[in-house]
Amino acid sequence: MLHHLLFITFRWLDFIDILMVAIIMFQLYKLVKGTVAIRIFLGILAVYLFWKIVSALQMELLSEILGQFIGVGVLALIIVFQQEIRRFLLMIGNNRFFSNGKNGSFLRLLSFGETKNKLNIAQIIIAVTNLSKTKTGALIVLDLNSELKFYTASGEKLSSAISAALLESIFFKNSPLHDGGVIIENNRITAARCILPVSDNQEFPDHFGLRHRAAAGITENSQSFSIIISEETGKISTAKAGKISYNISIEELNEKLKAEVK
């Protein structure tokens, strides 16, 4: 029994096993960090570790009770962590290997022969500059490396070439399309007035409004890139992977856009 407890036999596969579990647990922790689910996650982790300890100590009765609890609790976990599981699967699916971006090997093979038009950065910069000067609130989502058809379907489909005048008219305060976000895909404005998912990160700064939360939320669920213009201050921000870069200059925005379309 002492030999069993001390784990004297340790193979290189055991090291890989532990490493992979550690990576998965860390990714799960990042997903639930800052949300109410973190407490549930830590509680379940504590129960599981306690179960493994009593199993190693061969405490049969307690081990069986905890084993049954964990076995039955799997279905409950799927319900409780439904949103987090969805985000975890989206994170895997949005990996660069599966994306349509420059490094998206898998989907690039599936879409062989399809070409994407280069983003018209100049017209976007002009629109953002004018919207910022007039303090017109706006949210522009660039669908560069993923598919946002679900969110496109929630808005008004346009399928128009990118132009500064069109973007400015969409976000004009009296325009029926100014609410929600504009989605740009394949160098075309595909839809306006789109309903976007709001970030549920509890650590999200309080001074950001709903527009910034939506920009962070859509980039949490995809590899998209968002541009936000504040209606109160006219300041420009960007969002990527759920992170907000606040109050950036036009020059910085231009550099970010160029980096995204490389």
pLDDT of residue 250: 94
Q: How far apart are CA 208 and CA 30, in angstroms?
A: 21
What are the tokens at 172?
A: 């004009």
- DSSP code for 238: E
Sign for the pseudo-dihedral over CA of 98, 102, 108, 109: negative
pLDDT of residue 77: 67
The model's confidence at residue 108, banded by pLDDT at 50, 70 and 90, is: very low
The ranges assigned to domains in the chain are 2-93, 121-260
Which range, of 31-40, 63-72, 137-146, averages the lowest pLDDT?
A: 31-40
Q: Where are the beta strands (DSSP E) in 12-117?
A: none
pLDDT of residue 9: 67
pLDDT of residue 129: 96
Q: How far apart are CA 114 and CA 48, in angstroms?
A: 48
- The structure's pTM equals 0.64
Which range, of 64-73, 101-110, 172-181, averages the lowest pLDDT?
A: 101-110
List pLDDT tens digits, range 21-47.
Answer: 888 778 777 666 666 666 776 777 788
- In 3D space, the residue among 90, 111, 135 whose CA is nearest the CA of residue 229 turns out to be 135
More confident residue, 109 or 219: 219
Pick the CATH number of 121-260 from 3.40.1700.10, 3.20.20.70, 3.90.1150.10, 2.60.120.20: 3.40.1700.10
Whether residue 56 is predicted with pLDDT greater than 90 in this model: the reply is no
The model's confidence at residue 142, banded by pLDDT at 50, 70 and 90, is: very high
pLDDT of residue 107: 46
Q: How far apart are CA 217 and CA 72, in angstroms?
A: 32
Q: How far apart are CA 188 and CA 30, in angstroms?
A: 34
List pLDDT tens digits, range 182-231.
Answer: 999 988 999 999 999 888 777 787 788 889 999 998 888 788 899 999 99
Coil vs helix vs strand at 53: helix
Whether residue 244 is predicted with pLDDT greater than 60 in this model: the reply is yes
Whether residue 79 is predicted with pLDDT greater than 80 in this model: the reply is no
For strands 181-185 and 138-143, give the pairing.
Answer: parallel
Judged on CB neighbours under 10 Å (0-12, 13-18, 19+), 195 is middle
What are the tokens at 46?
A: 């504590």
Q: How far apart are CA 162 and CA 192, in angstroms?
A: 12
Coil vs helix vs strand at 124: helix
The model's confidence at residue 3, banded by pLDDT at 50, 70 and 90, is: very low
pLDDT of residue 8: 54
Question: What interhelical angle do 250-260 and 121-133 show, nearest 10?
Answer: 150
